[in-house]
Amino acid sequence: MNTYAYARVSAKDQNLERQLVAFIEFGIEKSRIFSDKKSGKDFERKEYKRLLKKLKNGDLLVIKSIDRLGRNYDQIIAEWAYITNTIGADIFVLDMPLLDTRTKAETLVGKFISDVVLQVLSFVAENERENIKARQAEGIRAAICNGVKFGRRPTEYTDEFLSVACDYIEKRINSETAMNLLGLKKNNFYYHIYRIKQLKEL
């Protein structure tokens, strides 16, 4: 049995470091860690496809959180089923230990809990992203209706960027952690936080 890991961020300027450190601490060899800097809207990702070719029956795939696999509820469920049922590999999610398909070898209850938690978390993750996108769009529309003129095309923030920014704004993480996750320097970070706050208040 081999253990592999998959990391993903949505943009080239975002940082994979937190995910990579977690995998190394878990004991995964660097040569078996695959990563993409690409949107999670689908599974057309170079390194992810390479990973799937490596995965064999009995192997273990480790991911940091369920949204690193993808961001679409139906796609996550389908991909999870493909890996665990068709390939026959197991999946373990570091941020949610209940999502560990290795429990299926022990009890049916463990497998049932893993499947239920996966479906709930996948739905919640997608729903939250849709809410964030809706709030962002409403803010921009309101700004335009109120006569706000943008000097340049408004920045289109990724779902992951907005998620981290909101965590910082709502004091769930500190500025240092947020800057590391977003791969931004101090001045640039606070500029974007200011813009997002303005949009949220409109």
- Residues 6+ positions from 123 with CB-CB distance below 8 Å: 73
Catalytic residues, by residue number, are 10
Gyration radius (Cα) of the chain, Å: 19
* Residue appearing with tokens 């937190």: 18
* Residue appearing with tokens 């995998």: 23
Q: HSE-up of 64 (CA within 13 Å, CB side)?
A: 19
* Residue appearing with tokens 């209706």: 145
Instruction: Give the orientation angle of helix 108-145 with respect to helix 186-201, to 10 degrees.
Output: 80
CB 4, CB 59: distance < 8 Å: yes
Answer left, alpha or beta for residue 147, where phi above 0 means left and psi between -120 and 50 means alpha: left
Q: Is the dihedral of CA 69, 70, 71, 73 positive or negative?
A: negative
